[in-house]
Amino acid sequence: MIKRLFACLLLAGCTWPALAAFDVGQLMDDLARHKGGKARFVEKKYISLLDKPVVSTGEMTYAAPDRLEKRTLTPKPELLLLDKEMLSIERDKQKLTINLSSQPEALAFIDSIRGTLTGNRAALEKNYLLHLAGTADKWVLTLLPSDQKIAALVLRITIGGSRSQIRSIEYLQADGDRAVMSIEPIEVK
């Protein structure tokens, strides 16, 4: 009976609606439409020399296309500011500023975040192989370094999210240490 019904549907020209595949291009388009915002984060750093992870919390602010501020509140205050090619770090009343254009490996690492936030596929593919899994509502983008100098530092970066929101970032370093950051957007009222 089911075979006959199926055959009748085929002969009558009935078709199932095509499901659009979720791909890297669609994800990048979704991310590119997100122009910024504010979020809370919890970051756990797993370091081989320590018995338990180092946990830090704070807030991040992103303004497209190239300004990212990460303000760590606990365990120690720290401000990390990325503005175009300049990275500034303030900790314990000391400030360090780095021009990333003179640090290609650091710039490639920073571009993994900036490229994802801006939906810039070309910037990501310059230094990483991209693998996407999931759906638009729950996706995981894995970045695998394609350059040996970067691979000597980072084995993979895994970014998870929903639609245009990044919800987690995990870095697995070549030495086995890793960092996992959970991100929760703050609704602006």
Q: What is the pLDDT along the chain (189 residues), one digit of tens a residue?
A: 544 433 443 444 444 444 457 999 999 999 999 888 999 999 999 999 999 999 999 999 999 888 999 999 999 999 999 999 999 999 999 999 999 988 888 888 888 989 999 999 999 999 999 999 999 999 999 999 998 999 999 999 999 999 999 999 999 999 999 999 999 999 866
Whole-model pTM: value is 0.85
- Residue 99: which residues within 8 A CB-CB, separation 6 or more? 85, 86
Buried b (16+ CB within 10 A) or exposed e, 141-152: bbbbbeeeebee
CB atoms within 10 A of CB 12: 8
Residue ranges and CATH numbers for the domains of the chain are 21-186 (2.50.20.10)
Q: Inter-axis angle of helices 24-33 and 104-118, to 10 degrees?
A: 80
The C-alpha atoms of residue 38 and residue 149 are separated, in whole angstroms, by: 33
